[in-house]
Amino acid sequence: MVMARHWYSSAPVVDGDPLLDQPGFWPAHLADLSGGLPPEAFGSDAGDADAMLDKLQDAAAWPVFTVPLNGGFTISVHYNSGEEFTTTDYFLTHPEWRQDLVLASDDQDRVGPGLCWPELTALLDAPESTVGVTDPHARLLLLLPVLGDASAPEEAVAAVTRALVAQGAPEASEALARQLLQGHPMWGAEDWWFDEDERSWICEGDHSPRKVPLGDHLPPQQRAALEACLTPR
């Protein structure tokens, strides 16, 4: 069962942002998506990747990563090692909301995908004067597990390749980028379509929380702000 975000307040949560610059982070974070490719494909040492996995799966310190968005929205990436296995939950939050939205979770509920490619591209540039993950390449790679878009364009491969190289991968990382764009193995890459009436992307995936318009329960003003946040500029 997906862990409600407010339950994390009593968990051993720690700021995960400093881990982004440590050796082995990206092959560890993207291990489920990389299809068995070795850490060296990311420009990392296998020992560093194993050590980072231990940090991400530490039952005494659960890393959380904060991705600030426009309009006061935030995506929080929570690692959860409170049970037998470590899982990762991705929440879309806003200070005015009483309940956060789950975009994806790789626990037994199998929730995802939560973003299509046009939406992810809209989230890459951080608002000014915000705290959290602000580098666009790091934001792209951190949120890749939420993505699952069977119609991701060729430009997505180039964008992911640039992000990988910026984070230390070899220049020839196109094959790795294509593998990562296949989607999380729990939900894969799915078909999306844009509902003009609802002004929202809809996902056809059986496990996706986006089978209904995102934020359809919100007041009109908040719904409009959310739409603007997820719309490429």
pLDDT of the chain, 233 residues: tens digit per residue:
566 676 777 789 999 999 999 999 999 999 999 999 999 999 999 999 999 999 999 999 999 999 999 999 999 999 999 767 899 999 999 998 888 999 999 998 899 999 999 999 999 999 998 999 999 999 999 999 999 999 999 999 999 999 999 999 999 999 999 999 999 999 999 999 999 998 899 999 999 999 999 988 888 888 999 999 998 87
Question: Per this entry, what is the length of the chain?
Answer: 233
Domain range for 171: 5-229
Helix orientation angle between 136-143 and 154-166, rounded to the nearest 10 degrees: 110
User: E-strand spans in 69-228?
Assistant: 74-80, 87-93, 101-105, 192-195, 200-203
The H-assigned helical ranges of 33-104 are: 46-56
- Tell me the pTM: 0.95
Query: Following DSSP, what letter does each residue of 197-215 receive, concatenated?
Result: TTTEEEE--TT-GGGS-TT
Residue among 66, 65, 53, 54 nearest 26 (CA): 53
Counting the structural domains of the chain, the total is 1
